[in-house]
Amino acid sequence: MNSLSENVDLAGGRLTIDLGALADNWRLLNQLSGASECSAVVKADAYGIGIEQAVPTLWKAGCRTFFVALPGEGVRVRKAAPDAIIYVLAGYLPRTFEIYRDHALRPVINDEINAWIEASGENNFPYAIQLETGMNRLGMPISDFEALRKSGLIASHQPDLVISHLACADTPDHPLNEQQRAEFQKIVDRYACKYTSLANSAGIFLGPDYHNDLVRPGIALYGGAAADEHLQNNPMRPVICVEARILQVKSVLPGASVGYGGVETIRPSDRPDGRERILATLSAGYSDGYLRSAGSSDKQPGACAAWRGVRVPLIGRVSMDLVTVDMTDHPDIDQLMGDKWQDEWIELIGPTVPLDEVACSAGTIGYELLTSLGTRYHRTYINDL
């Protein structure tokens, strides 16, 4: 965080992160996954909300196992939760053994088993293996795993966890879910793997067959939609609220256009007192991770924002630092007139305009929007345990 974003009076945008909602989301997922252990995936700075704040909260809620993408993230988790179990999904990177050892990080091995066992020596440092069951992204091919078992290399150095990852869990009817589950189960049964994990957030909602010994939710912890059906009806609590300061309120006549490219033209207003429309220009833009593709044009509406719980449409393109919304039809519009708009903030993402709705308007998913939130926001963490 830079010093500019520490004083809210200097900030154009503010980001409020509800740690109580994060804890509640973990508790709900923990409950839904029954007897399985519920871990937390906190890669990419806990999906953008901040490892240093998210991890202690999750620990207090009862979470004991954390997954990160990279060893550097694991070092940060170790500081935030000294007694946690920490897995590194990237596996074991060359020349980094001391980092894993000194911070007790456990690699999730895909292909580097020889290097890891050699580096560990007699110490039997804990690690996991990820099996390839159909996603074809990261994971050890089953044939390699079988050869490894036969070779005896890991006979005295068994993995502490065996995982695989579902490619299509957000689409419950996709045949790959059951295929991957069956393939994974066959192998872990055959080799009597003692601690196994398959489900991400969406996998938890596929039901107990997918829960194994441990589940690995990410997005649902942060309030994002895990499954397609959550786009309409999300059981998770929203964790982030993004607001942008109003910088100017102006009246614009029909026929004029708004913003770069002049891609959106002002339509006549229904207001009794004039044909003009009333626009508010806000202090946030694509450099804050409010994606340019969320903008609006004559051809296609963009995202919505909200003020006092009432939605208002974006108008025109999203600029680097600015975005414009059409306030004309807001019931409290009179309370923005004169200089009354000063010190007013407009919700861009939050309780009225959900993360996944904005993501959808921008042609992407909640994950990308969350992990893109820029560094200029004034951040406030509320409701810590």
Ligand X SMILES: *Cc1c(COP(=O)(O)O)cnc(C)c1O
* Distance in angstroms between the alpha carbons of the first and the last residue of the chain: 23
Closest distance to ligand X from the beta carbon of 200 (Å): 3
Residues 181-200 that bind ligand X (CB under 6 A): 200
Closest distance to ligand X from the beta carbon of 226 (Å): 6
Residues 60-99 that bind ligand X (CB under 6 A): 89
Closest distance to ligand X from the beta carbon of 137 (Å): 8
Residues 296-355 that bind ligand X (CB under 6 A): none
Closest distance to ligand X from the beta carbon of 39 (Å): 9
Active-site residue, selected from the candidate residues 60, 191, 195, 260: 260
Task: Please confirm, yes or no, whether 299 is among the known catalytic residues.
Answer: no
Strands (E) located in 230-344: 240-252, 257-258, 264-265, 277-282, 304-307, 310-313, 323-326
Interatomic CA distance for residues 217 and 212, integer angstroms = 13
Active-site residue, selected from the candidate residues 43, 286, 367, 377: 43
217 lies in the binding site for ligand X (CB under 6 A): yes
**Nearer of residues 17 and 202 to ligand X, judged by Cβ:** 202
Identity of residue 235: P
**Nearer of residues 89 and 305 to ligand X, judged by Cβ:** 89
Q: How far is CA 189 from CA 154, 181, 204, in A?
A: 17, 12, 21
Q: Which residues contact 122 (CB under 8 A, 6 or more apart)?
A: none
**Nearer of residues 226 and 322 to ligand X, judged by Cβ:** 226
Comparing C-alpha atoms, which of 314, 374, 376 is closest to residue 346? 314
Comparing C-alpha atoms, which of 230, 204, 165 is closest to residue 360? 230
165 lies in the binding site for ligand X (CB under 6 A): yes
Task: Please confirm, yes or no, whether 260 is among the known catalytic residues.
Answer: yes
Interatomic CA distance for residues 364 and 359, integer angstroms = 5
Determine which residue in the list 110, 180, 201, 361 makes contact with ligand X, applying CB under 6 A.
201
Comparing C-alpha atoms, which of 358, 219, 346 is closest to residue 281? 346
Closest distance to ligand X from the beta carbon of 126 (Å): 17
216 lies in the binding site for ligand X (CB under 6 A): yes
Q: For tokens 């995202």, name the residue.
A: 303
User: Could you tell me the two tokens for 229?
Assistant: 């059906």
Active site residues: 43, 260
Q: Which residues in this chain contact ligand X in the complex, by CB under 6 A? A: 41, 43, 89, 165, 200-202, 216-220
